[in-house]
């Protein structure tokens, strides 16, 4: 065991470098990154938003951040497939922990998320969020738009999340309605991938439906995303129910007929030249998961997002 260590999340002295913790033990952080509340030198800050008070079906996504961190321990800190490099040789990544939300006053949650995200965006180049239900994407978009203006949205999901809503009410099926209405998301440069339900409005976003994905290669899907976003500043949100229920049973509103995790991961791998400003992985609901199938899929999506950032920085 010479040269090995454990609990890298708290013993690490630098934000670079791999860990050597056993995959089954040690303090859990996302991919064993250093846990810190001071991410000032980080290229990427990973954090959790354990909130699920705005779901319309099955709750449980408040346990998503913990499950995603636990699942990420299977990454053994070798060069990660398919990136052929140690992600942390050059990419400084920290785990900030979770956003504090008062469960007794859920109506205050979105403002708490926006405020803390805004603070973090002043300290780090990229915020990778582990959810949480899909409503949390709205305050994250708010915080980013305050710094960068209107954003393009790359939205992987089985649902459009464009249901009508009254006033400032935002839930996991209407966050995008509010974001478009307030000029945070530009529908003309935004795209949804994997949609397998109907909402009353599309709001002008381009949609790649689930059945279309069956006849497209991952390169063709990525090309549609590039053509739609057109080099604009973009945010990527990945609702795990974009995947078929065979690959993501542990989610609040599962929809059959979706793509495989392999196909969507291949799409993400082709997106390294998109100008991403931030991203999230949401709607992982561990109470409905089996053998961490969904958590592993979600953690791998998040790892791929780090991978494309690492490749971009290394190139």
Going by the annotation, the residues of the binding site for Mn(2+) are 134, 157, 159, 161, 239, 241
CB-based burial, 48-58: b 16+ in 10 Å, e otherwise: bbbbbbbbeeb
* Binding site members: 134, 157, 159, 161, 239, 241
Measured between alpha carbons, how far is 253 from 276 in angstroms, rounded to an integer? 27
Structure tokens that stand for 172 in this block: 């996991």
Count how many Cα atoms sit within 13 Å of the Cα of residue 179 in the half-sphere of its side chain: 36
User: Residue 158 in contact with residue 197, Cβ under 8 Å?
Assistant: yes
Measured between alpha carbons, how far is 88 from 99 in angstroms, rounded to an integer? 24
What percent of the chain is helix, strand and coil (3-state, nearest 5)?
35, 15, 50
Where would I find the H helices in the chain? Answer: 8-11, 64-72, 109-121, 137-148, 175-181, 210-213, 218-229, 261-269, 293-314
| Residue with tokens 């469960």, as numbered in its chain | 103
Measured between alpha carbons, how far is 96 from 69 in angstroms, rounded to an integer? 12
């Amino acid at each position: 065991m010479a040269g090995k260590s454990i609990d890298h999340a708290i013993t690490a002295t630098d934000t670079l470098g791999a860990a050597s913790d056993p995959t089954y033990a040690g303090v859990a952080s996302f991919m064993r990154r250093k846990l810190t509340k001071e991410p000032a030198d980080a290229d990427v800050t990973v954090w959790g938003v354990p909130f699920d008070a705005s779901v319309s079906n099955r709750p449980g996504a408040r346990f998503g951040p913990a499950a995603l961190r636990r699942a990420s321990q299977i990454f053994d800190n070798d060069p990660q497939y398919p990136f052929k490099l140690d992600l942390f040789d050059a990419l400084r990544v920290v785990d900030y922990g979770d956003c504090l939300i008062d469960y007794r006053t859920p109506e205050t949650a979105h403002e708490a998320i926006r405020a803390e995200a805004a603070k973090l965006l002043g300290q780090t180049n990229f915020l990778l969020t582990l959810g949480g239900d899909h409503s949390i994407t709205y305050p994250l978009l708010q915080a980013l738009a305050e710094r960068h203006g209107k954003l393009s949205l790359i939205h992987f999901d089985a649902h459009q999340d464009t249901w009508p809503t009254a006033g400032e009410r935002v839930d996991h099926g209407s966050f995008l309605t509010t974001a478009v209405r307030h000029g945070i998301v530009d529908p003309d440069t935004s795209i949804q991938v994997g949609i397998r339900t109907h909402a009353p409005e599309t709001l002008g976003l381009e949609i790649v439906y689930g059945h279309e994905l069956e006849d497209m290669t991952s390169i063709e899907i990525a090309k549609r995303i590039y053509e739609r976003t057109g080099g604009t500043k973009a945010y990527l949100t990945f609702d795990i129910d974009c995947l078929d229920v065979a690959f993501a049973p542990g989610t609040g509103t599962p929809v059959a007929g979706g793509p495989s995790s392999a196909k969507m991961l291949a799409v993400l791998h082709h997106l390294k030249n998109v100008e991403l400003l931030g991203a999230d992985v949401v709607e992982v609901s561990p109470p409905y998961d089996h053998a961490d199938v969904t958590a592993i899929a979600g953690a791998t999506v998040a790892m791929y997002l780090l991978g494309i950032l690492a490749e971009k920085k290394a190139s």
